């Protein structure tokens, strides 16, 4: 995990509080965090925020991303529609670690209504500290396009 790694993070209105908490925590740990919104509890459309993170990664402004909505499902589906994005919806540190280790996921999706802030922070740390294993997994990841 490179401390100079730039992360893009975004959420819809349901994920705002969790996103704000993660932004503070990541900044305290030395990560450069691009907070791409939303910044209020007014209802918004999660695909717009998935697109913002996908664009930041595609354009090289960020190496990896974190997306949050109520369940994490919609925002992960939206993110995976973008070329080059491998978003993984995770609910625990094991799934976050395996998303990186076996799938080379570059976006972590979280459900704010399904996990608490400590579990979310643990997932983020597992996601950011786990390298892609490569080997037999590389061939499979390459088939994802």
Extents of the domains making up the chain: 6-142
Per-residue pLDDT of the chain (145 residues; tens, 9 = 90+): 445 689 999 999 999 999 999 999 999 999 999 999 999 999 999 999 999 999 999 999 999 999 999 999 999 999 999 999 999 999 999 999 999 999 999 999 999 999 999 999 999 999 999 999 998 999 999 998 8
Indicate if 39 belongs to the active site: no
For 57-70, b/e burial (b = at least 16 CB within 10 A) is beeeebbbbbbbbb
Cα distance between residue 32 and residue 65, in whole Å: 12
pTM over 0.75: yes
Cα distance between residue 77 and residue 37, in whole Å: 18
Given 13, 90, 102, 123, which residue is catalytic?
102
Cα distance between residue 18 and residue 79, in whole Å: 19
Whether the CB-CB separation of 44 and 13 falls below 8 Å is answered with yes
- Select the CATH number that applies to the domain covering 6-142 from these four: 3.30.70.990, 3.40.50.1820, 3.40.1400.10, 3.40.50.300: 3.40.1400.10
Given 13, 69, 90, 123, which residue is catalytic?
69
Indicate if 123 belongs to the active site: no
């Amino acid at each position: 995990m490179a401390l100079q790694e730039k992360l893009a993070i975004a959420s819809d209105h349901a994920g705002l509080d969790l996103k704000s908490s993660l932004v503070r925590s990541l900044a305290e740990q030395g990560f450069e965090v691009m907070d791409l919104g939303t910044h209020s509890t007014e209802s918004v459309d999660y695909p717009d925020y998935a697109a913002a993170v996908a664009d930041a990664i595609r354009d090289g402004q960020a190496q990896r991303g974190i997306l949050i909505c109520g369940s994490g499902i919609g925002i992960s589906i939206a993110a995976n529609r973008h070329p080059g994005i491998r978003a993984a919806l995770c609910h625990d540190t094991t799934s976050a670690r395996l998303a990186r280790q076996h799938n080379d996921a570059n976006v972590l999706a979280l459900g704010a209504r399904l996990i608490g802030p400590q579990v979310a922070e643990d997932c983020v740390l597992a996601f950011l500290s786990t390298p892609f294993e490569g080997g037999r997994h590389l061939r499979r990841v390459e088939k994802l396009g």
